[in-house]
Structure 1
Amino acid sequence: MLLGGVGSIWSPVMTTFGYSLLGIAFIWFAVIYLRALLARNKVSKLGVRVPRASLSAWYASWIFFLAFGFSLVFGLDPLSLAALHLLFLAFVTNLVYGVGYMLFPLLLRRKTLSETLAMAQVVAAILGAFLMVFAFLGMLSPYTYRMFTLLGIGGTLAAISAIATPKLMEQFPVLHPSKSFSSLLQSCALSEHYAVMKNHQTQNRESRTSDSRRGRGSYPL
């Protein structure tokens, strides 16, 4: 991080090298945690069964973090939309879901409303994050216009997942104050989805206008 910050002032080569080192460190951490997940048993030493939703969310989050590390090594701008969504929406959000489904039932001695619905919520979050990251990466290629559909689907799944979270945890009274945070996540997801769709419509309109102007242009003699 220090090399990346200093390099932005002195040398782009130093910036690239610093981000690559940071990416290698992230890859190392992700591999350590993935190996720990693979090595553990379904029942911990305390005799507590880890929910499938938590395991799935943890596996997905660290796989996303591994991908984020590789993206830095291969030169993806860490401030690009793809990198930011890979870090915060894909890694952090799924990590929080996994901890929540494991920690709150254990502390409050209550089961989750439905393990099947919890699993569906986590799957929606994972697919939504993957599609959004893939779409943002695709926008760096010549196939930008084909990515908006995937981006819309991913944003919708992520929003549905955020909306479903407080519903699945309504039986935990201590979580009621966190509904405001969940509402904020929902608003951000829906706002981003709306903004992306409006941007897509604007670009399509500009493209059609440009094509019509070229069609009315004069031809060389």
Structure 2
Amino acid sequence: MSKNENIVWHQASLTKEDRRNLNNHQSFVLWFTGLSGSGKSTVANAVASKLHELSARTYVLDGDNIRHGLNKDLGFSDNDRKENIRRIGEVSKLFVDSGQVVLTAFISPFQEDRALVRGLLDESEFIEVFVKCPIEECEVRDPKGLYVKARQGIIPEFTGISSPYEEPTQPEVTIETNKFSIEECVEQVISYLKEKELV
């Protein structure tokens, strides 16, 4: 017997379009992906602040924060990383359905997992933002001291060191945090959203 055999989808009284109309803007996911230390969380939060100034309803889902609650039962094996991203994809879809802009800051190292999340959403609702920064620069920054521990073998399966990071091949936006300021990176993302008439 299928796990879902006795579960029936209950149709809601309000639609995604109803909630978007109330909020007066589109809803979508800004999916920030990149190495640890690349600046994902910093830029995501700065973009959220800018969108807030533009009267957009936003919420930031941060990789570390989510692992304190929803995903605290997951480790860092390939399977756990996949489940981590699958759950966040489903949560992001709920935020989009609620009419909000959700910004996610997750390393999300595997192309397949990011593609799975894209597939959960309608066209134009998933915007992949590649936070591009050379690993050498990320190691110099090392804000949490993780690269040092990874190099010492204290942290196994660390992305970029002992576990792979698959760069996006066709991201909607690429921001280079080693070349441009946070403000310039934010402006690049906001410009894309305005160009696509999403805000």
TM-score by structure 2 length?
Answer: 0.26
Question: Whose strand fraction is larger, Structure 1's or Structure 2's?
Answer: 2
User: RCO higher in 1 or 2 (8 Å CA, sep ≥ 6)?
Assistant: 2
TM-score by structure 1 length?
Answer: 0.24
Question: Whose helix fraction is larger, Structure 1's or Structure 2's?
Answer: 1
Instruction: Point out the structure with max Rg over C-alpha.
Output: 1
